[in-house]
Amino acid sequence: MESMQNIEISSEMLLGFIYTYGFRLIGGVFTLFIGLWLSSMAVNLLKRALQRSDVDPSLQGFLTSLISALLKILIYITALGVLGVHMTSFIALLGAAGLAVGMALSGTLQNFAGGVMILFFKTFRVGDTIEAQGHVGTVKDIQIFFTILTTADNRTVILPNGPLATETLVNISTQPTRRLEWTYTISYGDDVDRAKAVLADIIASDSRILKTPEPFYAVAELATGSVNLVVRAWVKSGDYGGVLHDFHEAVYKRFPGEGLNFARAERNIHVYQEK
């Protein structure tokens, strides 16, 4: 009789445990999955709304990633509340853990602060071409912790926001025009005025090179074995790369026909025979 009574008590305790915690577990899991699904839908709707609005593209990626992270944190806390976790003590524990994690991940927090500074001060935006941390590329997205670039050879570069906000950065897209500079060597005895005239004719024949400011030509250096000519001209920022290479090719084709010789590095070796 006593063993039967113990079995009945155990069964009641098991049923009570299942009744008390089983439904909480089911409710917590249900809350988690439904919450994550709704969060995903909300973030997608926000992304579409931002794309249709006049919100700066630089801010779109940052806002969607930030709101997505906040919604997920809220969902996890809600699911824990459904499971029966006392949120007061949990929040205190979360705060202590957050402090410890924050100290361990101070660099990550700096990246978050850097992202906020980039968006606030608008040092660069999505679509700008920048040079930073040894990389040159077009900004494709500014996220909470990182900025994503695409290079000219179609590589994806992910840069942390912290250094981008605090270290030296070159934004190539802020100015509508850029200055090009070339240096060419001719041999001693070649006609310098003729060389300048040829360079001026090549510039005049290229409509992409701006007439204002005026192009500049000068003898930059009388070097050992060569006379170095410098040429400077201005172009629209989008024409920079094309004009840079086309001008080299044009000079290479024109100079020989004009009696101008590209100077070559020479080394004279004198051999003396002892008597």
Q: Over the stretch 2-31, which tens digit does the pLDDT of each residue have?
A: 454 445 556 665 555 565 666 667 777 777
> Given phi > 0 = left and psi -120 to 50 = alpha, else beta, which region is 167?
beta
Higher per-residue pLDDT: 141 or 272: 141
On the question of a common fold for 115-171 and 177-257, the answer reads no
Please give the average per-residue pLDDT across 67-74, as a whole number.
Answer: 80
pLDDT at res. 113: 83
Flag whether pLDDT at 123 surpasses 80.
yes
Average pLDDT over the chain, rounded to an integer: 81
Flag the least confident range among 123-127, 185-189, 193-197. 123-127
Q: Which CATH class is domain 115-171?
A: mainly beta
Rounded to 5 degrees, φ, ψ at 55 are: -65, 140
Contact 216, 232 (CB under 8 A): yes
Give the fold, CATH level 3, of 177-257. Alpha-Beta Plaits (3.30.70)
Q: Which 3 state secondary structure label does DSSP give 213?
A: coil
Q: What is the CATH code of the structural domain delimited by 8-104?
A: 1.10.287.1260
Show me where the domains of the chain are located.
8-104, 115-171, 177-257
pLDDT at res. 2: 46
Q: Fill in the DSSP letter of residue 173.
A: T
